[in-house]
A = this chain, B = another copy of it.
């Protein structure tokens, strides 16, 4: 937390002037990317769900998360930051993804993400199913020496092909390992639970460099100890955070494609995230919001708060001073 940005920052629409339920939906009512000259962090939608194996519908995730983000406000008292003031955040709209050809879509996402990453901008992708993590990892890893992955999910997502398809929402981290994108021995799954295909899945997963912290571990270890273990493992490595909302219990995230009972709460998840302050986070995604199964926006709301928390973590690195921040 050192210095405030030199240039004026364009923040969200002022809720004292335009009610929160009014106006076009951008994430947190922030400016569109075309409304500013430059930016520090872009939130970008990736409306793609053709890699889904069970309940589809995450293609409507970005729209739902944007709508649920209207209640977000300027100051984050838990991290003592002003995420919209200390850095220029924009909504970069949605990446166009071919719904009928997974590999084309992956290429489109990779290209668009690379483009947005130009100049070392931070990117937070809102999905979309978990297939999108692979091209996002490719784009994030580009120009870095190594990249650790912190993966919040009920599932490992290191499965292999499914119905002959190499690229689905169950395989991004296996593919990422095979492509040499993952830092050895520095990756972590958090919130894993539920039945899997076989014991061998765990062996494979370990080979890909992941440590598994289960949903049950949360009861036994507590948030603070888990955060300590994550920090120990990742160290100072550049870190990509991938959050599948099904890491939360179906009660907290009904609107998702492959729900598993026994999950964590949004409070636990947010608290873990905040515990990562000071780590070298370089990119992130929040995926698998399937609004057709949501109720009263609870899944989208949780997703919006997760994005906000990620923005707040970036803001701490950007530094700032709330007295001096100009809010729109």
Q: Which residues of A pack against B, CB within 8 Å?
A: 16-26, 32, 45, 47, 49-57, 59-60, 62-63, 67, 70-78, 80, 93-94, 96-102, 104, 162-165, 168, 193-199, 201-202, 214-216, 218-219, 222-223, 249-252, 254-255, 258-268, 270-271, 292-298, 301-302, 304-306, 308, 322
Contact = CB atoms under 8 A, between A and B. Distances in A.
B302 A199 contact: no
A264 to B, nearest CB: 7
25 contacts: A18-B94, A19-B163, A20-B53, A20-B54, A21-B54, A22-B45, A24-B94, A50-B50, A50-B100, A56-B59, A57-B292, A72-B195, A74-B198, A80-B199, A98-B163, A100-B163, A215-B267, A219-B268, A249-B252, A250-B252, A250-B302, A261-B270, A261-B304, A262-B305, A295-B295
A24 to B, nearest CB: 6
Contacts of A162: 16, 100
Q: Give the number of times this chain occurs in the complex, counting copies.
A: 6
A63 B258 CA distance: 17
A177 to B, nearest CB: 20
A222 B259 CA distance: 26
**Which of A102, A165, A195, A263 has the most chain B CB atoms closer than 10 A to its own CB?**
A195
A15 to B, nearest CB: 8
Contacts of A62: 22
Contact of A73 (B16, B196, B292): B196
A322 B199 contact: yes
Contacts of A75: 195-199, 201
